[in-house]
Amino acid sequence: MNSGFFVDVARARGTLPRRKEHSGCSWGKKMSLSHGRPMVSIPGPSVIPDRVLAAMHRPMPNIYEGDLVEVSYSVQDDLRKIARTEQPVYISVSNGHGAWEMAISNTLSRGDKVLVLESGTFAIGWGEMAEVSGVKTEILPGEDPYPVSPEALEERLKADLSREIAAVMVVQVDTATSVRNDIQAIRAAIDAANHPALLMVDCIASLGCEPYEHDEWGADITVAATQKGLMVPPGLGFVFASEKALLAHKRADLRTGYFDWEPRTNPEQHYKIYCGTPPIQHLWAMRESLDMLFEEGLENVWRRHRVLADAVRAAVDAWQAPAGLSFNIVDPQSRSNSVTTVLTGEIDASELRTIAESDAGVTLGVGLDEFADRAIRIGHMGHLNPPMILGTLGTIEAALTKMGSPIGSSGAAAAAAAIGAAL
Ligand SMILES: *Cc1c(COP(=O)(O)O)cnc(C)c1O
């Protein structure tokens, strides 16, 4: 008997799901090598570890007591260990922009002035948000493509005789330019000017990637989010506050109902910590990612990022050629360990990205703002190891080869050598 008959009958009765019809051959299909696990090498959202994905796959729990509440408190405690602070952390159920707003609204007042240290798109964006909230902003221009100048900051603050500037806003790593600013030097400049401004630092692209010490370095506000070095999907923002920031909070008149720290401060009322239902899946995910970071050891996590970033830099160094690729950040000391912005010269950046993705399975970051169509960004933050980074770099090289682009020498070989030297 032909079993196909019973299958047909069952389908006709609706008791079997419809299947897609396949001819079984490749006729009419374009060959592409981009099968297998795709590699997303963009500077956030970063690769989510399977352990973190699995940890999120749970039904809704009791939210009043038990596991979830314990996990929630433990996540707060352990986040403070990642930012190296004894001070409180406040959690916004939002992306990084929401955490920016939480920091602004809890510490500043209408008419205050903030000094925004330019080093790319992100501090400027944070400053614009402050401006919309009713704060006056002044931009301390950066000398492109250098990091923020602590000397220029000190000079500007010394000139602020009326102490009008309430806060200095800076990013540790600007994800557009891939510069890393020296936060300790910036703190030292504020101290040298003997200026009372709050130091507000955006570590969204660098927490868990670059060494950072909220307490020891004297940051007043540190902002972070889940989806970069912390290896969790976008959805939570973190704001760490110093004692001075908590004092500023008492006077701040930009406070809003949702972001206000005050009701979130009572540790007995778990529900209020999140100003509503806790972000359950994200808390389980954060618990797992924090466990992974502590199992590895935070200093080792920083070292791993440096070694893998060195491999990326070795590749770009080898590739460099007239009319070809080059570093955006000229000073090697100021290149970040979480993202590298590579200028593409006469090479078509968008064609390079398209070939890497559709023919070979690697998604690269786009150039932002002034870098649109003239740069690619390689994200190297979070859950990464040598086969992942070498895969990305080797694939970029393959795409450059296909395009007939000018390259100095093999970046893939240089990256392997750099990793070999660090093993
Ligand atoms: C990604 C990023 C942001 C913005 O975070 P969102 O989650 O996209 O709102 C802000 N600052 C820096 C430095 C970033 O890298």
Higher confidence at residue 145 or residue 60?
Answer: 60
pLDDT at residue 337 is higher than 60: yes
CA distance linking residue 255 with residue 72, whole number of Å: 24
pLDDT at 28: 86
pLDDT digits (tens, 9 = 90+) for 341-399: 999 999 999 999 999 999 999 999 999 999 999 999 999 999 999 999 999 999 999 99
pLDDT at 118: 96
pLDDT at residue 48 is higher than 90: yes
- Give the DSSP per-residue string, 45-57: S-PPPHHHHHHH-
Q: Which of 352, 365, 359 is nearest to 397 (CA)?
A: 352
How high does pLDDT run on average in the chain? Answer: 95
In order of start, what are the domains of the chain with their CATH numbers? Answer: 50-293 (3.40.640.10), 297-422 (3.90.1150.10)
Which tokens is 93 given?
């159920």
DSSP category for residue 115: E
Instruction: Tell me the pTM.
Output: 0.94
- C-alpha distances in Å from residue 152, one per residue of 158, 193, 217: 10, 11, 19
**Which residue has a Cα nearest atom 15 of ligand 1?**
205
CA dihedral 370, 372, 375, 381 (to 10 degrees): 90
* Contact by Cβ (8 Å): 102, 90: yes
Query: Which atom of ligand 1 sits closest to the CA of residue 97?
Result: 9
Q: Ligand 1: distance of its center to the CA of 381 in Å?
A: 13
pLDDT at residue 1 is higher than 50: no
CA distance linking residue 50 with residue 257, whole number of Å: 36
Q: Ligand 1: distance of its center to the CA of 96 in Å?
A: 5
**Does residue 90 sit in helix, strand or coil?**
strand
φ, ψ (nearest 5 deg) of residue 368: -95, 150
pLDDT band of residue 267 (cuts 50, 70, 90) is low
Q: Residue 171: CB within 6 Å of ligand 1?
A: yes
pLDDT digits (tens, 9 = 90+) for 59-114: 999 999 999 999 999 999 999 999 999 999 999 999 999 999 999 999 999 999 99
- Other Cβ atoms within 10 Å of 422 Cβ, number: 14
pLDDT digits (tens, 9 = 90+) for 180-232: 999 999 999 999 999 999 999 999 999 999 999 999 999 999 999 999 999 99
pLDDT at 21: 82
Higher confidence at residue 340 or residue 32?
Answer: 340
φ, ψ (nearest 5 deg) of residue 238: -125, 135
* Contact by Cβ (8 Å): 115, 189: no
Q: Residue 101: CB within 6 Å of ligand 1?
A: no
